[in-house]
Amino acid sequence: MNIESSYQVAESIMRKCASSFYEAFGKIERAKFLDMAAVYAFCRYADDLADTKSHSKVMKLQLLNALEEEVKSLYEGRRQEEHYKKYAWWLAFENAVRIRKIPLEALLEQIDGQRSDINFKIIEDKEDLILYCKKVAGTVGLMLAPMLRGDKADGKYESICESLGIAMQITNILRDIGEDLREQNRVYIPQTFMKKYSVTRKDLENLSALPSTLSIRHLFFKSNFRVEDNIVSLWEETALLSKHYYDEFYKHLYMFSSDAVFPVTAAAVYYQDILEEVRKNNYNCFTKRCYTNSNRKRDLLKTVSAHIEKFKSENFNYNEANAKNERLTDS
């Protein structure tokens, strides 16, 4: 397989598995976009390894360990021909890693995050949740950072990219409470939050249960889906944590390159709106997956533009103040 074909495979994986990202970043500089797709293909593979039911726990860990060694080989200058046969996206990924200087630490942390899913431990508190989100999603922000960096990025830039990943992962968790329980037997909501609102795992399991047969009565019941106020409060406190990281990202848009500002902002706005969709659906993140559809995304373009205009205005004022200070200093 040549490198062009490998990039095509990576792009097709992103188009199929991350339509919101694919749509948001489709207009970024083509070379950057393809390298982002190659990184996404790697992350998708690692994530699928952790969640697949076709392998035993031991086999999953062995495959992740093998992936870790394969990644390390890239940074040691060892080209392994079998990788190109094993992963159709590997050649593109290898090229992206080399050209963009993607940090090895982020790749290894991503793999370690997937191990933490396989060896899942109860999320005890907010700190546990943030650490988990940093590993499985903050690292994605760090991997993509080289393709999104602007001229005004400073020492805080990488942490802002990481913040967006954390915000999006908390959004995933709040969208998929029922799915995570049914399919992976996992609850990512911190125990301290659950105890605060007197919510038990059994409460979440009852809401997440699907019927063996779909009756008219059940359809009627689910159309009037309602959760208790304490569970809504629990969900909203976790959503507030997500908002903190989204807001941190929005405040630093000036750090991104001119061709990346719109797509990265759109990706954030589209993803954050999933939380609004859950609210519109009576907080049913237990028996259905809420998402932001194409019509809604068109409506959200105004929100995207508002964030960008605010950043431009604040950045303009900042630059004007700096210029004024420089003139005063010169005089």
Taking the C-alpha atoms of residue 14 and residue 77, their distance in angstroms, rounded to an integer, is: 27
CATH of region 1-118: 1.10.600.10
Domain pair 1-118 / 120-331, same fold: yes
Taking the C-alpha atoms of residue 252 and residue 245, their distance in angstroms, rounded to an integer, is: 11
The pLDDT value given to residue 321: 35
CATH of region 120-331: 1.10.600.10
The pLDDT value given to residue 324: 37
Neighbours of 58 (CB within 10 A): 9
Helix (H, G, I), strand (E, B) or coil at 36: helix
Q: Are 131 and 198 in contact (CB under 8 A)?
A: no
DSSP 162-222: HHHHHHHHHHHHHH-HHHIIIII----S-HHHHHHTT--HHHHHHHHPPPSS--HHHHHHH
Q: Which two tokens stand for residue 62?
A: 């062995």
Q: Are 208 and 177 in contact (CB under 8 A)?
A: yes
Residue of 189, 210, 208, 209 whose CA lies nearest to 199: 189
pTM strictly above 0.75: yes
Q: Are 123 and 160 in contact (CB under 8 A)?
A: no
The pLDDT value given to residue 223: 56
The pLDDT value given to residue 320: 42
The pLDDT value given to residue 325: 34
The pLDDT value given to residue 330: 44
The single-letter code of the amino acid at 60 is K
Would you mind telling me the total number of residues written for the chain in this entry?
A: 331
pLDDT tens, per residue, the chain with 331 residues: 899 999 999 999 999 998 888 988 988 999 999 999 999 999 999 999 998 888 999 999 999 999 999 999 999 877 666 666 789 999 999 999 999 999 999 999 999 999 999 999 999 999 999 999 999 999 999 999 999 999 999 999 999 999 999 999 999 999 999 999 999 999 999 999 999 999 999 999 999 998 764 444 444 445 568 899 999 999 999 999 999 999 999 999 999 999 999 999 999 999 999 999 999 999 999 999 999 988 999 999 999 999 999 888 777 544 443 333 333 334 4
The single-letter code of the amino acid at 330 is D
Taking the C-alpha atoms of residue 295 and residue 312, their distance in angstroms, rounded to an integer, is: 27
Taking the C-alpha atoms of residue 248 and residue 246, their distance in angstroms, rounded to an integer, is: 5
Alpha-helical segments (H) within the chain = 3-17, 19-25, 30-51, 57-75, 81-86, 90-100, 104-118, 126-133, 139-148, 157-175, 177-179, 191-196, 201-208, 216-223, 229-250, 258-280, 294-330
CA 304 to the chain's CA centroid: 18
Q: Are 57 and 295 in contact (CB under 8 A)?
A: no
Domain boundaries, the chain: 1-118, 120-331
